[in-house]
Amino acid sequence: MTLDQREVRTGFGRFATGVTVVTCRNDEGDPHGATVNAFTAVSLEPALCQVTLTRRSKACGYLPGAPFGVNVLAADQLDVAWHFAGRPQDPAPQWTEGATAPVLAGNAATLSCLPWRTYDGGDHLIVLGEVVALEVTDAEPLLFFGGQFRELGPLNADPHWAASLDCPDAGWFPAYWAA
């Protein structure tokens, strides 16, 4: 059975994600970035994360075997997301030197990574990186859902977790950590 690519994209788009810009150096050594919402945490020990890039992107050619940064964009960085999605903005985003590769200023979080593994992902490349440095701020993240950029809404104070063993106020799986 062959699925319609538009339907698949719409289905995938029902999952809300954060917005990142993956940064590295190009073949000339200049900073380069690509807006990516396919990012996930993989492991705590070792600290690993995953980014997935379309094979059509320039960054896909620069990233295998190279150190890189994952810039988790803040809600006020919509212009940065557009800039690295192929719609250059004026002024251009500000670069700074990260622990492993160039990174952007003003992020909600910045992960500096060393290459770990690269895998075939069909029309995408799956890149795992070992996080060797991390910077976290209090900034709210920029989100992507249903083909649009979004921001977090107000926190729902309803105590819906109270009846769950997974309650974050109880330490998330306390029986597991006690063992």
Which domains, ranges and CATH numbers included, belong to the chain? 6-152 (2.30.110.10)
Q: Which residue's entry shows tokens 């719609």?
A: 87
Q: What angle do CA 128, 132, 135 make, to 5 degrees?
A: 105
Q: What is the pTM of this model?
A: 0.83
- In this structure, the strands spanning 102-104 and 109-121 are unpaired
- pLDDT score of 153: 83
Q: Which residue's entry shows tokens 């063992």?
A: 179
Question: 111: exposed, middle or buried (C-beta count within 10 Å: 0-12, 13-18, 19+)?
Answer: buried
42 — phi, psi (to 5°)? Answer: -115, -45
Three-state DSSP class for residue 10: helix
Look up residue 137 and give its DSSP letter.
-
**Ramachandran category for residue 116: left, alpha or beta (phi over 0 → left; psi -120 to 50 → alpha):** alpha
- pLDDT score of 11: 85
Spatial separation of the C-alpha atoms in residues 41 and 155, rounded to whole Å: 23
Report mean pLDDT in 10-residue bins for the chain, 179 residues.
86 85 96 94 95 90 94 97 94 96 98 96 94 97 90 73 62 52
Does the CA dihedral 156-162-165-169 come out positive or negative? positive
